[in-house]
Chains A and B, each alone.
Chain A
Amino acid sequence: MDTLAALLHGFTVAATPYNLLWAAVGVTIGTAIGALPGLGPSTTVALLLPLTYNVNPTAAFIMFAGIYYGSQYGGSTASILLNTPGEPGAMMTAVEGNQMARRGRGAQALATAAIGSFIAGTLGTIALTFVAPLMVKVALMLGAPEYFALMVLALAAVTAVMSGSITKGIASLALGLLLGAVGLDPTSGQPRFTFGIMELLDGIDVTIVAVGLFAVGETLFVVSRRSSSKAEVIAIAGSLWMSREDWSRSWKPWFRGALFGFPIGALPAGGAEVPTMLSYATEKRLSRYPEEFGHGAIEGVAGPEAANNASAAGALAPLLALGLPTSATAAILLAAFQQYGLRPGPLLFDSNPDLVWGLIASLYIGNVLLLLLNLPLVGVWVSLLKVPKPWLYAGILCFATLGAYTLNNNVVDIGMLWLIGMMGFGMRMLNVPIVPCVVGFILGPMLELMLRRALAISQGDPSVFFMRPVSLCLLLLTFSLFLGPPLYRWLRRRSEAARSGGTVA
């Protein structure tokens, strides 16, 4: 009952005209920017961070939640009609939805994606409402060593899951940790890696890192390739409505997708990639028309898109309850909290119930707004897809500099933006994954704080991490993440070698 009362209170916060306005602004801008080709939710959220510098925290986070959810909806439009998934979570939607659009069923693909996102987003938000307070109870029992182990696990998981090559993933993570260490050491007050530059004493701002790596790096990468292949927007033709058959083939995948998305999204390693893949594979196996998959099966859009949105809600649970981001977007949201001097985690539920529950309530509202915004107005978003590439990227770059400059009204930040953009470009060129770097940058300082706090309590004895059962388990899990796959491969190779050796002999 407690939870319901808190949620009700949240609605009274979120439903004030002022906050409703920010929610509406957030979902609209989120959809619009998310629909621009190649811009995924994390880039969108990072680019739009400056909009809220002067807004009060509750309204700012209500708007952010709208941007977060809205960019997912907008992203599905770009994936379906243009085949440009902005993020790995949208990959399956792009594969199957674009095939549907090519067969003249673009409207149905967009509809099943929007309605599925609404249902899964709402289910995910309900789950978030009840899971987050439980997580808070668990979180209150965790000490510094457990938090440290949990963060190590989250970092390891992001590195292992998001990287094609584990060595490059670790390199990316280390670069992120290094960027995070720039500035005054919070415990001893010593400047580290600042090279006597005053502006670096406060550390590098997250907007600079996220926008530099994602937006500027991406722009430089695209311009250096100047690919001749031109993506084509597929016009929507034929019936705009989902037929009875479309509905009957969609509703089960929506629910199953939500079931995959939320729990996996809430795990430290989660993200959106794994649940969307699982949902796609499941729907293909369960479908009565498996031969249609790969040629525009509606289940292949409905399921993964639902899973994608539910995982976005899932990622908010550990973010709000533990202060632990499980995806790049969640990491940027965490940094946004920090900009307001707020620390997500168990204490936030006590100290700022208005903000937390207003935010959760606004997710319900945002989902309804998004459904209204995306079904009738889809034509508006489609026209955004037609923005020519030169102007699109020129605009992105202008927005990036604007965000960097308005941070502190300081030109040094523009220089940092360029440097980090060049770094992002280099990483893209050499196939070094970017997400571990961003998450490492944001978690790094917290990780160091917990490490030092834990060792201060244990008076410098590092065995504290291995003597406490919870932190020991978490650390063992971390090791298995890295050692598991190579060990498995080695064992398989050995058994294969044994088998082939047997046939030869």
Chain B
Amino acid sequence: MWRRMRQPSEAALGVGLAVLALWIIALTSQLTVGFSYDNVGPRTVPYLIASLLLLSGIAIIGDAFSRASAERGSDDPVQWLPIVLISATLIFQLFVIRQIGWIPAATISFAVCAFAFDERRMLLNLLFGFLLACGTYILFNYGLQLRLPAGYLLEGLL
């Protein structure tokens, strides 16, 4: 079944690339040009990129239809739940890292990410995450003079 799935995904990749190319052409055509000393202008290279994308997209579509499953991926079905979990940790950090600070944000992300990898001992995950977060916080803020956010809680305590 996977083999039959393979070709549509290839074709979809090709179509995606071609659509992206057309979109870039549309965006690029709205750029203004007008400096005489600049013979090439800001449009040329985007048009070149779009044509590369278009060409490769069309070639990939062609391959998808002509070639009989030349390459086969792994037979494992894709697990979507862990991907959603890991994406969620990144988006979670995006929204709360400033407010709650690096240490809690990283601890929670670490634990959820390890959970996504089938490590179900949550307390242990949280402990290791906490240690890693504290270690990096101390290293970066005191050793390397970079500023990881402390968060309201820690700022209150200090």
Contact = CB atoms under 8 A, between A and B. Distances in A.
Contacts of B10: 430
Contact of A226 (B55, B63, B82, B86): B82
B106 A227 contact: no
Contact of B109 (A181, A224, A397, A415): A397
B150 interface: no
Contacts of B97: 401, 405, 411, 414
B154 interface: no
Interface in B64-99: 71, 73-74, 76, 78-80, 82-83, 86-87, 89-91, 93-95, 97-98
Nearest to B17: A171
Given A187-B38, A456-B37, A422 B87 contact: yes
A192 B42 contact: yes
Given A177-B49, A192-B46, A406-B147, A393 B140 contact: no
B45 A164 contact: no
Given A54-B144, A422-B87, A425-B83, A171 B57 contact: yes
Given A170-B52, A406-B148, A188 B41 contact: yes
A438 B59 CA distance: 22
Contacts of B76: 225-227
B109 to A, nearest CB: 6
A53 B144 contact: yes
A497 interface: no
Contacts of A405: 93, 97, 148
Contacts of A421: 90
Contact of A223 (B44, B79, B145): B79
Contacts of B79: 223-226
Contacts of A391: 110, 114, 119, 125, 128
B145 to A, nearest CB: 5
B132 interface: yes
B29 interface: no
Interface stretch (A83-91, A126-134, A447-455): A447-455
Interface residues on B, range: 35 or more
Contacts of A444: 45
B106 A402 contact: yes
B32 A224 contact: no
A358 B91 CA distance: 42
B39 A401 contact: no
A220 interface: yes
A370 interface: no
Interface in A204-249: 216, 219-220, 223-227
Given A167-B59, A405-B148, A181 B49 contact: yes
Interface string A385-412: 0001111011101110110011001010
Interface in B106-154: 106, 109-111, 113-119, 125, 128-129, 132-133, 136, 140, 144-149
B39 A455 contact: yes
Given A174-B53, A177-B49, A394-B113, A219 B93 contact: no
Contacts of A417: 90
A170 B40 CA distance: 23
A164 B71 CA distance: 10
Interface centre among A397, A425, A447 (most CB of B within 10 A): A397
Contact of B132 (A165, A173, A395): A395
B94 A414 contact: yes
A31 B124 CA distance: 27
Interface in A430-457: 430-432, 444, 447-448, 451-452, 455-456
Contacts of B93: 401, 405, 411, 414
B8 to A, nearest CB: 11
A168 interface: yes
A52 B43 CA distance: 36
A452 B59 contact: no
Contact of A451 (B28, B45, B56, B136): B45
Given A390-B117, A430-B10, A411 B146 contact: no
A459 B41 contact: no
Given A54-B144, A431-B71, A455-B39, A226 B109 contact: no
10 contacts: A168-B60, A170-B55, A171-B53, A178-B24, A225-B76, A226-B82, A391-B110, A395-B132, A405-B93, A460-B39
Interface of A: 50-51, 53-55, 164-165, 167-168, 170-171, 173-175, 177-178, 181, 185, 187-188, 190, 192-193, 216, 219-220, 223-227, 388-391, 393-395, 397-399, 401-402, 405-406, 409, 411, 414-415, 417-418, 421-422, 425, 429-432, 444, 447-448, 451-452, 455-456, 459-460
Interface of B: 9-10, 13, 17, 24, 27-28, 31-33, 35, 37-42, 44-46, 48-49, 52-53, 55-57, 59-60, 63, 71, 73-74, 76, 78-80, 82-83, 86-87, 89-91, 93-95, 97-98, 102, 106, 109-111, 113-119, 125, 128-129, 132-133, 136, 140, 144-149
Given A55-B144, A192-B31, 7 more contacts: A51-B144, A54-B146, A171-B52, A174-B53, A178-B49, A225-B74, A390-B118
